[in-house]
Structure 1
Amino acid sequence: MFEAELHLQQHKPCVVSQLAREFDTAIEIAIEELHDELVTFVIELDERLTGVLDRLTDSAQVHHVEGLGDGNFLVTKTSCGAYSAIERNHGILRRPNVVDANSRVYTVLFFRREDLRAMIEAFREIGTVTLGKVAPFEDGGVQLTARQHEVIEHALAAGYFEWPRDVTSDELAAELDISRATLLEHLRKAESKLLTDALDSMPNEPEQSTRSEPELPPK
């Protein structure tokens, strides 16, 4: 498995980019869920900044926003298309990705160079894309907590990870008698740990046919 950085200058306006520009800061985004044409994520800002909730609430792009405290906000908004481009081309988006005033950086895991090229072509439909570093992915592994195991096991059995999903995050949260924000936080941490464990258990010498360093796609 390989890790690549994709740098995107999006053509159409985005409320998160506008926030980054207004407050002169880079904003970290942890993607929680992609559903239809909407994306749900958590953004983290300096808790001393004022007016963020009002700006998100007033944006026509935003369908739902919830303050989580300490400068964190759970946001559901219309997707620009980058996240679905990664998912449909068998990529795995690592958290967090970063948005600043002019561009955004996506860190993506992938196995096949043709999938990376397909992601880049899809990104070109929504903005100007530059391929950053490409390198083998290496990381250590950790174990799930009992609660994380319960949540992700229930989500898997209910079809949450199917495409399209068999159950929504709201329905899943109701079944587990927890809030949607809590559910998404458990899923985010569990997915990250499971991915790390899986990659850590892979052989050190990958097969030459599928794990050789990819050729960089043309820019």
Structure 2
Amino acid sequence: MFIATVHFTQHRECVLRRLTADVETPIPIEIEEIQNGFVTFVLRAGPHADEFQRELEATDHVEHVKRLDDDNLLVTKPSCGAYSAIYQNHGTLRRSNTVSGRQREYHVLVFRREDLKDILDDLASFGTVTLGKLTEFRAGSDSPLTERQREVATEALARGYYDWPRKITNEELAAELGISRATLHEHLRKAERTLLSSALTDNAKQTDSSHESEPHRGSV
């Protein structure tokens, strides 16, 4: 299993590119769901929330915009291509990512180097992609997850929740586990955050194969 940091310059027109073009600090995005070519995410807009909300609501192809609080927007819109490239090649996009105009930074979990190569190849077909850091993670028996987090995450993986396209919806998975959808998301978010943190910081459980950032040339 590998955690890859991918830097991507989007060449396609995209509403997020327009929104964040003049924003000095990259805007965090947390992915909620990707299904049937549409992505639902929380846009951590901060002081730009009012402006972003107006522009998103005025954009025809944006499916849904909801104000969560003063700083955050829940948005559903068609993928501009990057998310599809990641999930169609068996990658899983970690929740914490950023957007700044054309620039994106994605944290991607893959199980095989071949899948990562395919992701980078697909991204390179409509943008410029750079592999920033690649970390191999081998989870030992002393899992950092709680028993319940491990149970929910294992069931999600086995049932195809992380496949593309998904083989089970979040509602169906929650029903099979006998929990609410909100509880399902909470368990998965905590498990993903814990695994990602462990993969990146625990040297005793990983073989760090970091690479100097360089433009992708078709090899991983």
Q: Contact (CA 8 Å) 1:144, 1:193: kept in 2 or not?
A: no
Give the structure-2-normalised TM-score.
Answer: 0.71
1:93 counterpart residue number: 93
Q: Could you tell me whether the CA contact under 8 Å between 2:7 and 2:132 is conserved in 1?
A: yes
Q: Give the counterpart letter for 1:34 in structure 2.
A: I
Contact kept in structure 1, 2:134 and 2:209, CA below 8 Å: no
What is the rounded CA distance, in whole Å, between the counterparts of 2:154 and 2:133 in structure 1? 35
Is this contact kept in 1: 2:39–2:77, CA < 8 A?
yes
Q: How far has the Cα of 1:192 moved from its partner?
A: 3.2
The secondary structure found in structure 2 opposite 1:62 is coil
**Structure 1 range deviating more: 112-121 or 37-46:** 112-121
**CA deviation profile, 1:91-118 (whole Å, cap 9, x unmatched):** 2322311111231111223343222211
Deviates more, 1:183-192 or 1:5-14: 183-192
1:45 corresponds in structure 2 to 45
Amino acid at match of 1:90: H
Q: 1:9 to 1:200 in 2, by over 3 A?
A: closer
Q: CA deviation at 1:144?
A: 4.9
Aligned positions of 1:95-114 closer than 5 A: 95-114=95-114
In the TM superposition, what is the alpha-carbon distance from 1:182 to its structure 2 partner?
A: 7.5
* Seq. identity, %: 46
1:160-182 Cα distance to aligned partner (Å, 9 max, x none): 5565445544677899896x778
Looking at structure 1, the residues matched to 206 and 25 of structure 2 have their Cα atoms a distance apart, in angstroms, of: 41
TM-score by length of 1: 0.71
Q: Is the 8 A contact 2:23 2:100 kept in 1?
A: no
In the alignment, the residues of structure 2 paired with residue 47 and residue 183 of structure 1 have an alpha-carbon distance, to the nearest angstrom, of 30
- Residue segments in structure 2 that go unaligned for 5+ positions in a row: none
Q: Distance in 1 between matches of 2:47 and 2:186?
A: 19
**Structure 1 residues not aligned, in runs of 5+:** none
Task: Number of aligned residue pairs: give it.
Answer: 213
State the superposition RMSD in angstroms.
4.1
CA contact (8 A) 1:38 1:78 kept: yes
Alpha-carbon distance in 1 for matches of 2:155, 2:138:
29
CA–CA separation in structure 2 for the residues paired with 1:131 and 1:92: 16
Distance verdict in 2 for CA 1:25–1:115, change over 3 Å: same
**Distance across 2 between alignment mates of 1:42 and 1:13:** 20
